[in-house]
Structure 1
Amino acid sequence: VSFGDSLIKHVVETLTAEFPRLRTFATLSPIPGFRAWLSKHAGAMLERLDDKRRAELGRAVGFEPPQATHLLGAIDKALELDAKSPVRQMLLECAAYYLGREMQEGKPVDPVARFHLGNGARVERLNWAGDPSSKGQKQSYGLMVNYLYDLKRIDKHRSLLAQGKVPVSGDIDSLCRD
C-alpha cells in the first residue's frame, strides 16, 4: 500500500465522518509541467490540426499557417483570451492531451497527474483561470485540473493506467482529439 493510497483513504474517511452524505471526492490540482511541455511540443500539437482548424487558429494569431512560436506568443497572456477564442480552445486541447495521453515510461508525464492517477483517480475537468497567480501562469497558463476519486472505480482506473491508458472523463477525452 503506497503512502498516497493510505493518505487518500484517510482523507476520504475523515471527510465522510464529518460529512456523512458526501459522495463525490475530487481535487483541484496544479499542472506544474504543462507550460514547459507545451513549449517543446507546440509544433507537434499544431500538426495534429486539420486544415480548417489550422487556418482558424492562424487567423486568430495573425499568421497563416501558424507556427509554434505564434501559438506560444498568443497564449502567453492566456487569461485575456475570450471564451470563444480558437487560441483558448487550442490551449485547453493541449492541456487535455498532456494530461490524458502523454506518458513516459508507462507513467503520466506530469508529476501531480502521476500521483493522483497512480492512486486511482481519473482526469475529470480542466479549470480555466483556476490559478491566476504568477506561479500558476508560469506552470500552466493559469489552468488547473480536477481529479475525481470514484471509490467504486479506483481499482479499474489503476488497471487502465497499468495498461498505458489514462482514465479520463468524456469531456477530457473529447478535447484530446485523437
Structure 2
Amino acid sequence: MNIGIFSGSFNPVHIGHLALANYLCEYEGLDEVWFMVTPHNPLKEEGELMDDKLRLELVQLAIADYPKFRASDFEFHLPRPSYTVHTLDKLKKAYPEHLFHLIVGSDNWLLFSRWYESERILAENPIIVYPRPGYPVNADSLPQHVKLASSPVFEISSTFIRRALSEGKNIRYFLHPAVYARLKR
C-alpha cells in the first residue's frame, strides 16, 4: 500500500490537517495517511507542546470515522528528539510491505536542507509537498522523487487554534466536533 506519513505536532489537530489528508488520499494516490504524532520537533521549543498523550488522543478522536486515516504513536517509542530519517528507517523495517511517502508542507520544504540527513531522506523516500500560504514552491525545480500536491491551501494553523481557545473564542467549526468537545473539557 501507498502510505502517506503526515508527521507533526498536531498541537492540536484541526480541520485543515484533516481536509488535506483527505485530499491526499482521494487525489494524490495514497491508500492511507498515518498521522504520526511527533513528541518533539527538533526545530520547535518543547514547552510549546500540549501533552503527547493528549495530542494523540485528539488525533484519534478526529480520525475515528474515516477508514483511510490512522493515528500513530510510533515516534513516541523512538529516541528524542525524533528525526524523520530515523522514523522512516524504522517504519520501513516494521512494515516492509508498504511504500511510505513523506508529506511535507511547503513551509517545511523551504527549510528541508536543515533537516537531519535531508539528502538521505530525499534519496530514499518519495515526498509529497503540499502548499502553505506564503510559501510558494516551483514544481519544476523539485528533485526527482518529490511531488507538489495540487491540494487546496488551508489558511488555518494550530497556533491560531491555541490562541483562539486561550481567548475563549468559539471556534468549533475549525476543529472536528469530538476534538472541540475534548478541548472544551
TM-score tier, shorter chain, comes to under 0.3
TM-score, normalisation: structure 1: 0.24
TM-score of the aligned structures, taking structure 2 as reference length: 0.23
State the structure with more CA Rg: 1
